[in-house]
Amino acid sequence: MIQPPEVSLRCLGCGAPFPLAGDLASPAACPSCRRLFPRTTGGALITLPGEMMSAVVREVRDFWETGAQWRISNDLQGLPKGGYEVDDAPRLAETLLRVRGVEISGFLLDLGLAGRKALEIGCGPGDYSIMMADAGAQVVALDICPTRANSAAVGLRTLGALKEVRGAGVQGSAEQLPFDDAQFDLVFSNGVLHHTPDTPRAFREAHRVLKPGGLFLFSLYHPCSREFLVETLLIQGILQLRLFRYGRNWLGHSTEWTDAPGRRADRSLLRRFLFPRPNHNPVTRVYTLRAVRKLCDGFHSLCRLTPRRLDWLPAYLATR
């Protein structure tokens, strides 16, 4: 069975708080200004429609909405492409750890999730949110793309057919979180906040919605990594002249991909060199530890969890 998490929303129209409660199938309404929040077919709540986004955030949404880097686990693990099957969810933690070779799933589970209220920012297809719900957290899976928030909502429901789940998918922006202050014990965000136009604002928002003492586990691209120095800077930036052709957002022209669905995302170096990706990501940046410290100014403490080696996507833990 699935129920909504016990979390208070904040209306982006008038600022009034109201519970993320009720029937996951019908629209929600702000009790103060009566603004209606529609839902996607899978039940995700839409809090920031396109007309309320800045032009660049809309561009970011459109980039991710058109299918870039969709479900990581699919190709590699034979998980179904069309959506989760009932028995996928319990395998997710193990799958994510094995497939992606990133420690962040391990760090996440080590935090002890049972009974915690967790927000995932930029949930993509929802893998981590489903994993957190499976570990007993009350989860809100948020993404700027309706289809991604929807995918997470469907995954959470699927898990809800197996066990008691408290979870919901919400479409909204990291830069204007649609939640009241101090709602979450944990905010989690993997590989997202270097793609949003105003990253400092997103960090302030994460801080705002965390309870005092709450944890922020996140990862951000790092320039001292093989992916950046060799594959991105040397090959794409210098040899393929992107650094000179595209100027400020040359990184957006060199990271991520918008290959047609079905094509393998991880192409060989030679193929990448010969056939550059046609589209570009509107926002991509890299952050040194010093820059991460600056982003976390308002937090009580910060540590880098991933050991210092040439890691493209190190994980950090900040305490509010």
Ligand X SMILES: C[S@@+](CC[C@H](N)C(=O)[O-])C[C@H]1O[C@@H](n2cnc3c(N)ncnc32)[C@H](O)[C@@H]1O
Q: Figure out which of the listed residues 20, 118, 141, 174 binds ligand X, where binding follows CB under 6 A.
A: 174
Shortest reach from residue 244's CB to ligand X, in Å? 26
Number of residues that bind ligand X (CB under 6 A): 21
Between 74 and 213, name the residue whose CB sits nearer to ligand X.
Answer: 74
Do 237 and 254 touch, CB atoms closer than 8 A? yes
Measured CA to CA, the distance from residue 102 to residue 96 in angstroms comes to 8
Q: Which stretch binds ligand X (CB under 6 A): 108-116, 171-179, 207-215, 239-247?
A: 171-179
Q: Is 30 in the site for Zn ion (CB under 5 A)?
A: yes
Nearer of residues 14 and 182 to Zn ion, judged by Cβ: 14
Binding status of residue 122 toward ligand X by CB under 6 A: yes
74 near ligand X, judged by CB under 6 A: no
- 143 near ligand X, judged by CB under 6 A: yes
Q: Does 217 bind ligand X (CB under 6 A)?
A: no
Which part of the chain contacts ligand X (CB under 6 A), choosing from 1-9, 168-176, 207-215, 294-302? 168-176
Residues 10-29 that bind Zn ion (CB under 5 A): 11, 13-14, 16
The rounded Cα 93 to chain-centroid distance in angstroms is 16
CA pair distance 140, 157, nearest whole angstrom: 12
Q: Does 3 bind ligand X (CB under 6 A)?
A: no
Nearest CA to 271 out of 259, 261, 283 is that of 259
Find the part of the chain contacting ligand X (CB under 6 A) among 1-9, 140-148, 151-159, 239-247. 140-148
Region of 8-16, 143-151, 158-166, 284-292 interacting with ligand X (CB under 6 A): 143-151
Per-residue tokens: 46:
């839409």
- Interface with Zn ion includes 49 (CB under 5 A)? no
CB of 47 to Zn ion, least distance (A): 11
CA dihedral of 204, 189, 173, 10, whole degrees rounded to 10: -70
Which residue's CB is nearer to Zn ion, number 30 or number 89?
Answer: 30
The one among 150, 196, 199, 284 contacting ligand X by CB under 6 A? 196
Nearer to ligand X, 60 or 318 (CB): 60
Interface residues toward Zn ion, by CB under 5 A: 11, 13-14, 16, 30, 32-33, 35
Q: Where does this chain bind ligand X (CB under 6 A)?
A: 60, 64, 69, 72, 121-124, 127, 143-145, 148, 173-175, 190-192, 195-196
